[in-house]
Amino acid sequence: MDVQREIDTRGLNCPLPILKAKKALAEMLSGELLRVVATDPGSMRDFQAFARQTGNELVAQDSSGGEFVHVLRRR
C-alpha cells in the first residue's frame, strides 16, 4: 500500500487521534492515503465512525501488539 503520510498517535486517547487525523487529511490531496498508528483500543470504532461521518474511506484497520493501525483515503 502506497501511503503518502503517516502520523503517530501512540499514547494519545480519544479524541486526539481523530483530531490529528482530521488535520492531516485536510492538508492532503484527494485520493491520498494516511496511515495512523494508535494505542487507544477505542480508536478502532472511532475511526470507523469518523470515516462514515466525513466521507473519507477507511481502507484498512489492523491491530497487533497493543497497536492499532488505520489507513484512510482522503475524499
Active site members: 14
Residue 3 CA to residue 35 CA, distance in Å, equals 7
3 state SS of 47: helix
Q: Give the 3-state secondary structure percentages of the chain, helix then strand then coil, rounded to 5.
A: 30, 35, 35
